[in-house]
Structure 1
Amino acid sequence: MCFLTVYCIKLISKTEYSNIGSAQIKSYPAFKYALVFLMRVLIGRMMSVSAHNMPFPWRSNMAAHGKQDADLSSTPLQILFHLNGWYFAAFFIAEILMFIYKGVILPYPQSNLILDVVLLLLFLGLETLRLFYGWKGNLCQRSLALCVSVGVLVPCAVLSVYFLLLQTFVLRLEFVLNAVLLCFYSFELVLGMMTISIFSRANIY
C-alpha cells in the first residue's frame, strides 16, 4: 500500500493540469491531497477485507497449544518435594552418624549392621528416584512420571517404617526423624493423587 501511494503522489505531482469534461483546470494541492487520501483509504480497505477473509490456520493451533500449556502443576506438592529433598539429605547424614555411634557404643551384631546400612543405601536410591520423577512429573505436567513417583513411595514408606520400628536398635532421634519423614510421605501421597487426577482429566500423559 505504501509503494502504491507514493507512486500515485509522484504521478499526480507530475500532472500540472487535469481534464474535467472539456475544460482545462489547474490541479490544486487540496485536490491532489484529497485524491491521494481517497486512494489510500480505498487501498487500506481492500487490504483489510482481504486480510479478514484470509484463513489463519495457526490460530486454532495456538489456542489448543495455550490450552494444553495451562499451568496445572501443584505448588504445594512442589514445595513438599523441595523440603523433602533437603530433609532426606539431613536424615541420611544423621542415620550414617547414628549407625557409627551404634556400631561403636552398642553391641550391634555385624550382620545386622551391614544389613541396615545396605537398606539405608537402598533407601537413598529409591528416595532420589522418587523425588526426581515427582519433581519432573509435577513441573512438566506428566501424570505417568507422577504415577512412578507415587509407586516408588510405597517401598520408601516401608523402609521408613523399618527404621522406625524394626531395626536392631532404634534411637529416640531415629524415631522422631522417621516419624517426620512418614508425615512428608502422607501429604505427598494425597497431593500426588490429586495432581494425577487433575492431569488425567486434562488428558495430559
Structure 2
Amino acid sequence: LCTQLSSVTFQLLLNLTTAYFVFYFLFTLGLIVRKSLVLTYPTDALVYDVCLLFLLAGLDCLHLLSGVRGHLTENEGLILTNLIVTGTTILLTVYFLVWQTYVMRADVILSSVLLFFYGLDGVLAFSTLARLASDK
C-alpha cells in the first residue's frame, strides 16, 4: 500500500506565489522605471536594482519548478533545493523592501505580501520534507 505524502495546500500555494510574483515583478519594474524618470536615480544603482529584480525572477522560476517537481515526485532533494531557493528569494525580497535605492510605500506593501507568501512556502516545504524524511 503506497501512501501519498504530498500536500495540496503546498501545491496551491506554490502556484499562488508564482501568480503573485508575476504581478510583483511587473509592478516593481514599473516602479523602478517611474522612479528613474522622476527622481535622480544613480545609473549604477538603477542597473543594480534592475539586475537584482531579474535575478529574483529567475530564482522564482527555480522556486516554482523545484517545488512543483519535488512535491509531485516526492523528491527530497528537489524540495530541499526549493527551501534553499526560498531562503534566497526572501533575502532578495527584503532588499526590495528595505535596501533598494528608493523605497516607496507601494514597494513596502508589495514586498511584504511577497515575503508572507515565501514564508508560507518555506514552512510548507519544510513540513513536506519532514514528512518525506520520516516516511523512509
TM-score range for the pair, normalised by the shorter chain length? over 0.9
Q: What are the within-5 Å matches in structure 2 for residues 1-205 of structure 1?
A: 66-67=1-2, 70-203=3-136
Matches of 2:53 and 2:23 in 1, distance apart?
13
TM-score between both structures, scaled by the size of structure 2: 0.96
In structure 2, the gaps of 5 or more residues are none
Where relative contact order (Cα < 8 A, 6+ residues apart) is larger, the structure is 2
Structure with the greater alpha carbon radius of gyration: 1
The CA RMSD over aligned residues, in Å, is 0.9
Matches of 2:70 and 2:8 in 1, distance apart?
12
> CA shift at 1:111, angstroms?
0.8
Question: What secondary structure, in the 3-state scheme, does the structure 1 residue paired with 2:101 have?
Answer: coil
Matches of 2:134 and 2:95 in 1, distance apart?
36
> CA shift at 1:116, angstroms?
0.4
> CA shift at 1:78, angstroms?
0.7
> CA shift at 1:81, angstroms?
0.2
Matches of 2:66 and 2:33 in 1, distance apart?
31
More helix by share: 2
> CA shift at 1:140, angstroms?
1.3
> CA shift at 1:85, angstroms?
0.7
In structure 1, the gaps of 5 or more residues are 1-65
User: What are the superposed Cα offsets for residues 27-46 of structure 1, whole Å, 9 maximum, x if unpaired?
Assistant: xxxxxxxxxxxxxxxxxxxx
> CA shift at 1:139, angstroms?
1.2
Identity of aligned residues (%): 33
One-letter amino acid of the structure 1 residue matched with residue 108 of structure 2: F
Runs of 4+ in 1 over 2 A off after TM superposition: none
